[in-house]
Structure 1
Amino acid sequence: DRDWGLGTGGEEIVSIFPSSPSSSSSPSSPQPSSVRRFIDAYVQEPFDLNTGPLFKAKLLQLHEQRYVLLIIMHHIISDGWSMGVFVRELRQAYTAFAQGQTPNFAPLPIQYSDYANWQRSWLQGEVLETQIDYWKNQLSDVPPLLELPTDYPRPALQSYGGDRLRYSLPPNLTLAIKTLSQQQGASLFMTLLAAFSILLSRYSRQEDLCIGSPIANRTHSHTEGLIGFFVNTLILRNQIKSEQSFIEFLQQTRQTCLDAYSHQDIPFEYLVEKLQPERSMSHNPLFQVMFALENNESPDLSLPGLEIEWFPLTYPFAKFDLALLAIESDNQLDLTWEYATDLFEKSTIQRMAEQFEVLLKGIVANPNQSLNTLPLMTAPELLQLQRWNQTQTDYPLNQTLVEIFEAQVAKNPNNLALVFESQRLTYQQLNQKANQLAHYLIQNYQIQLDTLIGICVERSLEMIVGVLGVLKAGGAYVPIDPNYPQERIGLMLEDSGASVLLIQSFLLDRLPLAQLENSPQVICLDEETFAEESTDNPSLQSTPDNLAYVIYTSGSTGRPKGVMVEHRGLVNMTLAVERVLQIQPQSRLLQFASFSFDASIWEIATALATGACLYIAKKETLLPNLNLVNFLGDRKISHVTLPTSVLSLLPQTTLPNWQIVVTAGEACPTELVTKWAKGRRFFNAYGPTESTVCASIALCHPNGKKPLIGKPLPNIRIYILDAHNQPLPPGIPGELCIAGVGLARGYINRPELTAQKFLEVELFGKVERIYKTGDLARWRDDGNLEYLGRIDAQIKLRGFRIELGEIESILLQYPSVKEAIVTLYKTESNQSLIAYVTGITTDLSIQLKSHLKCRLPDYMIPAQIVVIDKLPLTPNGKIDRKALPVPNVVIEGLYAAPRNEVEQQLAQVWSAVLERQEIGIHDNFFDLGGHSLLAIKLLNNIQQMFEQQLSLSSLFQNPTIAQLAEQLCNNEVQQSHPDLLLLQPQGNATPLFLIPGANGYSFYFRDLAIDLGTERPVYGLETPGRDGSTPLPDSVAAHASQLIELLHQQKAKSPYILIGYSSGCAVAFEMASQLEKQGERVGLLAILDAGLVSKSEYLTNRTDIDWIWQTIQRIEALKEVSLGLSYDDLAAQPNDQARWDLAAEYLYQHNILPEHSTLSLLKTNMKVMKVLTLNYANYQPSHPISAPIVLFRAQEVKEIVLQELQAFSDRDLPDWGWQTYTQKPVKVISVPGNHGRMLYQPNVKLLATQLQTLIVDEGG
């Protein structure tokens, strides 16, 4: 009864071990390993805190004279101090019983329960408030996690599995630390805590960190003889300034400890309850690292008649990420490092312990030095770092890529060099074409060494001919993506000062050449102006020190920056990579990367330097779906380099010829290696543009470990440096800096930025020119590098390097925007850019996005622009990124919850249709991903719920829950004609009327309507009867007549501006014809990518299977996916219902149709398409019209689509046959995109601009 918590509940504590009789006739001791296993299992048995007991004891008899006594008690009834009391009283009791006496314990002045009652009564009122106020102030804005770099990803749930490592400091060092402590008026604990804080700060790169530390909390003498849980945990927060001396930091730490001791009475659990920190099942709240110092004055356990030794226990637990226990004994410090095995390997902790010793030696040697100069690196580590950078390799770096390529031409002249669709070039043919271009440039444009020549072409053979031709002429090329906004293309041309621009003729209208102050001279590669030039190799122009190319990357100031790369670095990268990837003349490489991205140089150079074949595909083929998989399989591609975002979306398929996969451009997740490394070699490559594409590469294995970025390439050196450009030892994160022959010359026209990023520093006794990447990394023990993220605001998205500051700069140029911040938002399966802005209203976010689209490439456009009142700040005045609204909840504005029952019901319908949670009442349906099929489904669901019918026009004009609810409540649901969709209501000029194609809906004209501006209203003329409420028109003439009647009801007046898309061209033409017969004038008839049918049997002979198949193909085009469903799969089904059921299965799998939904919408859509297509097929105009016709042709068309179009229309004619049907010359204009994408951003922008110009020219 003396110690209330130490009852065993009557449990027997003596056991014979082993419990079964031995088969041997003579007694024998059990094996130590079996004893240890039993003890480990017994120790790990859980306590039942409800029923007890909380104290367990077991005496194991191993032999007649050998026993093991196990004593286990729960921490809730004891602490470290209690163990000393327990052992002392155990010795006293045993000695008395051995002598046949009763133990005579000194009476306890109080019981533990008395203390607990006293503490509760004392710790309240002013005492409690004073202590709480201290801790609230001390821990305000505390970092939620000490982010030590781990060997394994942090699990979502702590397992508390752990291990321990013991490490002793030498006596002379221990004495020096004690002496320093005494000189500074600090305790040994304070000095060790300060040093430990520095070590943790170096590892985590955090200057604000919290460490937990136990305190005995026995401030009253009456508690000294009690067994119980008195210990409390203090949170010691250290804020480290690297320029401080250690003496200054020690005094700061001392004061922190003294203040904490003065406020030690509040139990840690109560403090957590009051502070309510961010909680996670993956780590401890408020602190994750513990430090304690103990005096090893272990109580003597000598018992009469017994020889006693402590049984060494394994300790497979860790309550924290890391705990350091320092034990002072015999004039030396013994350190026990307890660590979570979920996070760390033993070797990491061993290295940390060794570095801690180096740090302590540096402190006592010179305690006045600043914290950032204190040493960590051991002598073996110093030698190790130098060995890892011994990469010297004898490559022929006196050559250029041109010479290496020409050697392959001589060696393998008839090998295929390039394949693009049906076009092919051998090495000899490619060399001859490049030579002709080079001679033409040299003779006509006075090309000098380092002359910059722009190349702006779509994916094609001309792209490679241009590159080689420029290099052979002695120039350097500047790759420009023709799909970039005109403003960005203009910036690149002006900044580079390119004197010549190589393009394709159909791109001339898309480039802002007339707007440039110094416009380059233009050569159209597809016109082959140089075809008569010599095919011989020109005399060598360039040297290894001359420029090979200038590539533009994102710049933080709002302007892209051009990186100048020389031949020497290009040759080194090419020769190194071809050896690592084992590229042979029989290899087949995919050319995937955008031409303006430096990975394209990797693909081009490594293929052409080895005699391999480079396969170029159209942009739409490279989407991560079955089209790309089929392309790789059909062409038997052996080597593929893909960004991780693309590889993660690629359907997994058996591709036996695919031998090598390289991922680059973004951090590679473990799952990707597991998915794609089986049966092939998987490499993870790393390198910024400034180091000639690639600086290191790693072969990855599907072993579940985090992919590393490998070791430096030959003749490349990599250093991990701190903020003062000093090398860091293995395990410590720092900035990855690159040296060696791969470094770029610098940034064109940016000497200050070049000086800032390319430095000369002394490393290991020699001066090195390094490039500071801004990437965070660390060395692993085996000499491989681990990428940890970015130090600055630069990120990688889908392989593209993006300066978030550049996007923010463009946002701030928009009128009224006061503040802007852009972040990379990550989910388990996706990552996207999110912009937060202040100063504007939510309804301007669409215009703001258009402002960005005019100035930035697509990959830099934020997926969402969130308008907020002000940017959240931390108490230190910095932007609090963690307090920014979550973009999944906030779409284009602050989330606003439903305010009434109607809005709640609408929100439920929207969530079901869009498969999103928490849709705000001001969120725009179309910005949330709504499209025509979803819009129809939404309206049907609304009709069923409210028994009111809304038109698509109503949704278009009122695209938010709040607006629709107001309409429903006011019964304002049919104000406009259901077949008239008002796409853009503003303006007083002549309206535009758009006639859709065979699906009958005008939804997809939305982007065009927005880009046409607010000068005139824009209407979509929906097909009457498309919803099944009335019969569909049975001919084009009837269709046109019904739409003209609709125009008359709207009191529309001539001149009419009609725009027909796809098969809607026939209806638009017939409307123009009928209007002219009625004496009306048509100012303009614009045809969007269509011609009239000249061979109707191709369409009229279609079966029901054909129509279902076409519906599926339209869905694939709309969603940009490949369902994997073939025509043969459909044909094999016994009837149409079975075919639809099969289609539904594929649609459900790809989340295109929600599970359990019906196919009625798709069937209706197919019926409309079938009727309208047959009307289109059977239409023949009776006579020409007077109105001018303008044909807009999409630049991109798939081969299979082209064959189909040629089967029923006059596609061979430049005007597609339209000249026959107008008295005026037909104007033909080429616009970017394909038949479907020409109406969407960014392609639609040029279409809208051309339309506006034409309308003005025609007086509309």
Structure 2
Amino acid sequence: MQKSQLPLLRDVVNNHEIESVLPCSKEQQRALTSGENIELHTILFELRDDGTISVDRLRRAWQHVVQKQEKLRTIFALGLGGIDILQVSLKNHEAMFSHVQYREKDDIGIKVEHEPLPILVPGAPMHVAQLYTAEGSPLLFRLCYNDLVIDDDCLIAIQQDLPLAYQALTGLDPSPTSRLQRGVPDPLLKRMKNAEPSHIGLSMGDTQKTMIEYTYVTKSGCLGETLLLQCSNNGFLPTNMIQALWLILLAKYLHLEQPCCMYRIASDGTSPGSSNNSRFLRREFLCTSLVAGDDYFVDLVKKLSNQTLRDGELYSSADVASTYDSERICNSSVCWYGTTIASGEAKHALRMNPIKAQGSGKHDATLAVIYTGLELKIQLQTGGKVERWLAKSITEMFAQSLEFVLSNSHCKIKDIPSCSLSDIEEMQKWNGGDLPREESCIHDMIREQARLRPDAPAVFAHDGSLSYAELEALTSRVASALFTELSLQHGEKVILQLPHSLWAVVAMISVIKAGSTFVSLDENVPLERVNSIASKASARFVITTSASAASYDGIGLQSIILDQAFVDNRTQSMAENWTSPDVTPSDLAYVIFTSGSTGMPKGCAIEHRAYCSYALTYGPAFRLGPDSRVIQSTSYSFDVSLKEILLGLISGSCLCIPSDYELMNDLGGAAARMQVNYANFTPSVASQLNLESASCIRTLVLGGEALTSSIIAAWVPRVDFLFGGYGPSEVCPTSAVVGPLSLRSNPKNIGQPIGNKAWVVDPIDHNRLVPVGAVGELVLESYAIGRGYIGDDERTAKVFIKNPTWCTWPVFSAADPRKKRRMYKTGDLVARCGDGSLLYFGRKDMQVKLRGQRIELGDIETHLKSLLGVDLVVEAGIPRGGGDEDKILVAFICLGSQLPIPTDLTSIDPEIQANLHIRLGNCEEKLAEKLARYMLPSTYLPLHALPVTTSGKRDRRALQGIIASLRPVVTDMEHQVATLWSQVLKVKVEDLSLDDDFVKRGGDSLAAMRVANMAKEAGLMLTFRDIYRRSRVLSEQVQICLKGPAVTTLRARKEPRIARIPKPSRYRGGGDEKTLLKLPVVMG
């Protein structure tokens, strides 16, 4: 129905007697002028009578109800001039009532479901009543209506009045209405403010656009009676119990503390415990509550009951809707449908049992609990944002939870089953079978390739090439020298800090052949951090280059210069006469160090057998083999480099190793020159590659950070196979694979676990599994799990766990109940899809991925606090207008009393500003000595106090919102080079000044590579080293490009840049709670 189809008011007046004329609400005006067709809701009732129901008598009863209810006689018409739309109530109207009689004795309910909806006639009331009958079947009464006029109060009255009119027992007095309080009082506003956004199913992958309905009929026939009895005894409504269970499920599925949903209540003032069960569609309100596992379920229900009483008695749903946008805060609603028996002493009472309700999609998920008097149905009606498998999981989980609380009325919330029986069956199906296990050593598996294919190329590097036979001989020669000359102890850790080269590969294999363990570091890791790692690993030696050897003298490491001269000074006979140590599969092969929350790096120790078990499955999974020419481009501090090197060699591939200069300035060109056909890149690196120059790559594996739709779309047409790889360092490089990817692939899907079993557990308690589709912490079970963190038994025990409680369940332990099962808690939040694949939702702790590097925010915080001596938080976020690849680190500095809230919110006190700028300048220099460059914050923001959530925890979402609002200051600049910066750093040219520092502006090594590539294409003499190391300031880069003196006409920035930030919702500081408004920001 469109506005143009509405009749004019004068025509209505000429043809009908008018009872009243009212203006339309804004919602009605918007719906009727939107150009979209008016959608219908439907409610289906089963009609029963102790005798035979008369169709004619029911038709006349319906006419009686229409005459009583003014809203059933209301139409829309155009006012004077045909512009304004009005509601017009007719004094008399012949009800639209149709009767369809089926001849067959089939399931009448199925037939009605396929009946098309009627078309509303312009100028007629917005409802149609339909009756369906068949021989030997109960009568079905369907009401089709639109809620622009027919609201919940009207529907309640219909369910009461139709049985009464049929029996003609009463004069149908008007239904009482409650007095509503205009506006929304503070308690309701506070409740709305504290609610967390609760959107079920919005990120669960590809969704169906068609409506999905899943109905679960409880097996216990008396369950409905039990529910009503418990509600009556405790003084609350069935709706309240439904609300409580739904909030618990939302908390479980979405990993929330205070979820919320919409619910429907009656407005007739009926109190809880009343025998009137006619309330089935109600005015909508928001309900929310903290869901704490140690709280008793009945207490949560009572709390929600109090909310319901206050909502129904005082508040107008229209007022609530106008005050708070419910669709932004939640996308689900719950309601209760009860049986109705008309009051009075009729011998043959007509009973209307609601059996189905279908809306037009106002909410993405509507849960209805229907009690027909004979059975209890749980029906979940969803739109296109919830898949069928998820609807099934949610509904069965709700049903099982309901049965549990009705049988255990005084249970705690944490006692309610964590997942349904059908979900457990699915988990067993996905995680059944034996795990792959390979009791071998890495160098032995590489040696097997030398035996099978001795002349095949193993390494093709910028500084030399080796066949597999040559690699085997050379590494044995180096290993013998390390073992005999240095007296390396069995399992001793040896630091490797080398540039990308043939010698880095030789060093790794030689060290493990000598029975020791290598610790590989990027050559740019600061010396102080090398010292921390060496101390943690109890390392005595570092294998490095002649240029860097002297720098280690001050930290007590003995340098070993590994180059051709090292080999030439050792004869081949030494290796031939050398007896290699007895290296076993249980020995450590390498230790990979990552950022640690205490400020100290943590080293994950990987055994030979763990890596070999990983290699057994992942080589074939990634289509890696003897025909693969793999580019080795990843930093040696990053465990993906070991996937390139070790997995590549175990699979018989050829490693192609460009120089560091080529990797930074011409990665695509280097790949082409080396005829690379296989690559492992982070999405950030892949996004800055010149696609034409990298056209030789036929198989690409993306990993290390989140995928995006744009990166998938860019590479799918360019390669034969595009994969996504996921995996923490603690479980070898990769634990799940997704692909080959297509243009329709969901970038959040990290794929299926391969070579391990994936379990999704409660992020708070790993002894509780979560349902299929729920967000939880990913726990991996595999023989590829590392031994633990060296020198840190406490941290190892926290994340490397054995036999969680659910391992003893018969369904999961039938093969060997006594078996010790070892698992790793990743700290990653995921949800399991219906096909067993995993969707990634982020970190549960303070660990983030920044351009492929895993960073523990607590590590940076610890060092910063020691330098500044104030409370602070480091957070990662995306500035306005950026994407995942533009994520930056921001340090929020809490100055407390040092930064009073000013009356003029546009500036910081000049003295505080100057002092803070000096302190930050000194701090940055000292921090750069302790942390890797990629761990340095790019921006520092002073706050009066740090925002917290309603539960008192740090509100990191609020901090991320602040980052998203950052605006740099506007200055003049040299356009020639600044344009390159602006395109890569995603800032306006006008926002840069000549004294800007590339790194402080958020540029990292990947961004510098992109600028260098763009400069080369533009004909500018600007290299990666110029941008990132030698001349990071813009004016210096202008000087290099123009081969002349730096431009100095623009004013150099002497003071910190200032930007404004929006207020966080709440913060704690200085005793009582205040509002934080537009505090200024210092950007370092």
Q: What's the C-alpha RMSD, in Å, of the aligned pairs?
A: 4.9
Residues 62 and 621 of structure 1: is their aligned pair in 2 closer, same or farther, counting only changes over 3 Å? Answer: farther
Contact 1:583/1:610 (8 A) holds in 2:
yes
Shift of 1:506: 1.4
Indicate which of 658, 663, 678 corresponds to 2:702: 663
Structure 1 counterpart SS, 2:259: strand
Indicate which of 186, 198, 223 corresponds to 1:133: 186
Shift of 1:188: 3.0
Structure 2 counterpart SS, 1:600: helix
Partner deviation per Cα, 1:403-441 (whole Å, 9 max, x = no partner):
111121122121111111262111122222211210111
Contact 2:994/2:1033 (8 A) holds in 1:
no
Residues 771 and 928 of structure 1: is their aligned pair in 2 closer, same or farther, counting only changes over 3 Å? Answer: closer
Shift of 1:453: 0.8
Higher mean displacement: 829-838 or 877-886? 877-886
Residues 366 and 854 of structure 1: is their aligned pair in 2 closer, same or farther, counting only changes over 3 Å? Answer: same
2:417 is aligned with 1:417: no
Residue 1024 of structure 1 corresponds to none
CA distance in 2 between counterparts of 1:810 and 1:356 reads 47
Residue 212 of structure 2 corresponds to 163
Contact 1:717/1:739 (8 A) holds in 2:
yes
CA distance in 2 between counterparts of 1:164 and 1:564 reads 50
The residue type equivalent to 1:198 in the other structure is I
Mapping of 1:693-708 within 5 angstroms?
A: 693-702=733-742, 704-707=744-747, 708=749
Shift of 1:782: 2.1
Residue 599 of structure 1 corresponds to 640
Higher mean displacement: 397-406 or 364-373? 364-373
Structure 2 counterpart SS, 1:347: helix
Indicate which of 805, 819, 837 corresponds to 2:893: 837
2:253 is aligned with 1:203: yes
Residue 655 of structure 2 corresponds to 614
Residues 372 and 491 of structure 1: is their aligned pair in 2 closer, same or farther, counting only changes over 3 Å? Answer: same
Indicate which of 642, 664, 672 corresponds to 2:711: 672
Structure 2 counterpart SS, 1:691: coil
Mapping of 1:1148-1227 within 5 angstroms?
A: none
Contact 1:591/1:615 (8 A) holds in 2:
yes
Mapping of 1:457-496 within 5 angstroms?
A: 457-496=498-537
Shift of 1:909: 9.4
The structure showing larger relative contact order (alpha-carbon pairs under 8 Å, at least 6 residues apart) is: 2
Shift of 1:722: 5.1
CA distance in 2 between counterparts of 1:364 and 1:487 reads 61
Gaps of 5+ in 2: 1-18, 20-66, 77-89, 344-349, 809-816, 896-911, 1001-1006, 1037-1084
Structure 1 counterpart SS, 2:473: helix
Mapping of 1:907-922 within 5 angstroms?
A: none
Residues 269 and 1123 of structure 1: is their aligned pair in 2 closer, same or farther, counting only changes over 3 Å? Answer: farther
Shift of 1:715: 5.5
Shift of 1:874: 4.1
Aligned residues with identical type, % of pairs: 21
Residue 506 of structure 1 corresponds to 547
Contact 2:459/2:502 (8 A) holds in 1:
yes
The residue type equivalent to 1:638 in the other structure is N
Partner deviation per Cα, 1:620-656 (whole Å, 9 max, x = no partner):
4335x9x333333443323211112222343444967
Indicate which of 676, 679, 689 corresponds to 1:637: 676
Indicate which of 870, 873, 893 corresponds to 2:945: 870
Residues 171 and 39 of structure 1: is their aligned pair in 2 closer, same or farther, counting only changes over 3 Å? Answer: closer
Shift of 1:468: 0.9
CA distance in 2 between counterparts of 1:515 and 1:94 reads 99
Residue 1239 of structure 1 corresponds to 1030
The residue type equivalent to 2:415 in the other structure is T
Shift of 1:690: 0.8
Partner deviation per Cα, 1:1177-1227 (whole Å, 9 max, x = no partner):
xxxxxxxxxxxxxxxxxxxx99xxxxxxxxxxxxxxxxxxxxxxxxxxxxx
Shift of 1:755: 1.6
Partner deviation per Cα, 1:321-365 (whole Å, 9 max, x = no partner):
322111221242222212221x11122111211122222233234
Shift of 1:883: 3.9
Residues 138 and 154 of structure 1: is their aligned pair in 2 closer, same or farther, counting only changes over 3 Å? Answer: farther
The residue type equivalent to 1:55 in the other structure is M
Indicate which of 554, 576, 596 corresponds to 1:515: 554
Q: Under a length normalisation based on structure 1, what TM-score does the superposition of the two structures give? A: 0.63
CA distance in 2 between counterparts of 1:15 and 1:736 reads 56
The residue type equivalent to 1:498 in the other structure is A
2:1013 is aligned with 1:1121: yes
Contact 2:152/2:281 (8 A) holds in 1:
no
Mapping of 1:584-595 within 5 angstroms?
A: 584-595=625-636
Structure 2 counterpart SS, 1:505: coil
Structure 2 counterpart SS, 1:690: coil
Structure 1 counterpart SS, 2:419: coil
Residue 317 of structure 2 corresponds to 268
CA distance in 2 between counterparts of 1:1118 and 1:529 reads 38
CA distance in 2 between counterparts of 1:871 and 1:888 reads 17
Mapping of 1:673-822 within 5 angstroms?
A: 673-678=712-717, 680-702=720-742, 704-707=744-747, 708-714=749-755, 718=759, 720-721=761-762, 723-726=764-767, 727-762=769-804, 763-765=806-808, 766=817, 767-815=820-868, 817-822=870-875
Residue 613 of structure 2 corresponds to 572
2:401 is aligned with 1:359: yes
CA distance in 2 between counterparts of 1:564 and 1:629 reads 34
Indicate which of 194, 219, 222 corresponds to 1:172: 222
The residue type equivalent to 1:733 in the other structure is V
Residues 915 and 415 of structure 1: is their aligned pair in 2 closer, same or farther, counting only changes over 3 Å? Answer: closer
Indicate which of 88, 98, 123 corresponds to 2:181: 123
Gaps of 5+ in 1: 19-26, 97-103, 301-306, 896-905, 917-923, 939-954, 960-1002, 1008-1114, 1126-1146, 1148-1161, 1170-1196, 1199-1232, 1246-1260
Contact 1:563/1:748 (8 A) holds in 2:
yes
CA distance in 1 between counterparts of 2:499 and 2:373 reads 77
Structure exhibiting the larger radius of gyration computed from Cα positions: 1
Residue 30 of structure 2 corresponds to none
CA distance in 1 between counterparts of 2:305 and 2:682 reads 50
Residues 193 and 615 of structure 1: is their aligned pair in 2 closer, same or farther, counting only changes over 3 Å? Answer: same
Structure 2 counterpart SS, 1:75: coil
Residue 495 of structure 2 corresponds to 454
Residues 477 and 284 of structure 1: is their aligned pair in 2 closer, same or farther, counting only changes over 3 Å? Answer: same
Contact 1:145/1:287 (8 A) holds in 2:
yes
Residue 1060 of structure 2 corresponds to none
Partner deviation per Cα, 1:966-997 (whole Å, 9 max, x = no partner):
xxxxxxxxxxxxxxxxxxxxxxxxxxxxxxxx
Residues 533 and 563 of structure 1: is their aligned pair in 2 closer, same or farther, counting only changes over 3 Å? Answer: farther
The number of residue pairs the alignment matches comes to: 892
The residue type equivalent to 1:821 in the other structure is V
Residues 830 and 595 of structure 1: is their aligned pair in 2 closer, same or farther, counting only changes over 3 Å? Answer: closer
Shift of 1:1240: 3.5
Partner deviation per Cα, 1:277-296 (whole Å, 9 max, x = no partner):
5x5xxx71444321111223
CA distance in 2 between counterparts of 1:202 and 1:492 reads 39
CA distance in 2 between counterparts of 1:62 and 1:718 reads 50
Partner deviation per Cα, 1:885-938 (whole Å, 9 max, x = no partner):
63465367xx8xxxxxxxxxx77999999799xxxxxxx99999999xx69x99
CA distance in 2 between counterparts of 1:925 and 1:660 reads 32
Contact 1:466/1:525 (8 A) holds in 2:
no
Contact 1:201/1:207 (8 A) holds in 2:
yes
The residue type equivalent to 1:788 in the other structure is F
The residue type equivalent to 1:167 in the other structure is Y
Residues 912 and 356 of structure 1: is their aligned pair in 2 closer, same or farther, counting only changes over 3 Å? Answer: farther
Contact 1:735/1:774 (8 A) holds in 2:
yes
